[in-house]
Amino acid sequence: MNVRSIDHVNLRIPADGLADARTFYADALGFELEGVDRFEAGEKPFFDVRLAPAHVIHLWPTDEFDSPEATNYDHVALVVEEDVESVKETLAAAGIDVEQELDSPLGATGEAGAVYVRDPFGYRVELKEPVEAT
């Protein structure tokens, strides 16, 4: 078996989390929310955060939501097109605090600068600049 990429990640959120998801993922980070109409119409139990043409996060609102803890979740890492300084400026303009900044965390594509933030549901998100070509 040869995996090409991750298609999606499923994250549970509070039942009333749609507005917070829109504020954080769409308004602050600039990602598109998809499937909201179908979710609100009861046609599907989740909606999507479109990260890239072939990558999404499924957000599943539920009454049984438990905030993530260090014992059951650490973070999801997203490689972004911008450098860390541009990412920090975007976050600051949106009022989002940087929890941690690392010069070169190792990931699937190599080492590059990254910042870590929390979404409104407690999930840690790594925003990593592209790895420089060698």
CATH classification at residue 123:
3.10.180.10
Do 111 and 131 contact (CB within 8 A), yes or no?
A: yes
Determine, yes or no, domain membership for 120: yes
Question: Both 51 and 3 in a single domain?
Answer: yes
The pLDDT, as a whole number, for residue 133 is 56
pLDDT, tens only, 22-49: 999 999 999 999 999 999 999 999 999 9
User: Where among 34, 63, 92 does a domain terminate?
Assistant: 63
Position 68 in a domain: no
Mean pLDDT of 79-104: 94
If one compares 119 and 4, the residue with the highest pLDDT of the two is 119
Confidence of residue 116 (pLDDT cuts 50, 70, 90): very high
Angle at the Cα of 58 from the Cα atoms of 18 and 5, rounded to 5 degrees: 150
SS3 content of the chain, % helix, strand, coil (to 5): 20, 35, 45
Res 49: pLDDT: 97
Shared domain check, 92 and 40: no
Counted domains in the chain: 2
Report the pLDDT value the prediction gives residue 107, as an integer from 0 to 100.
86
pTM over the 0.85 mark: yes
Find the domain containing 38 and state its range: 1-63
pLDDT > 90: what percent of the chain? Answer: 74
pLDDT of residue 59: 97
Same domain, 44 and 90: no
Structural domain contains residue 69? no
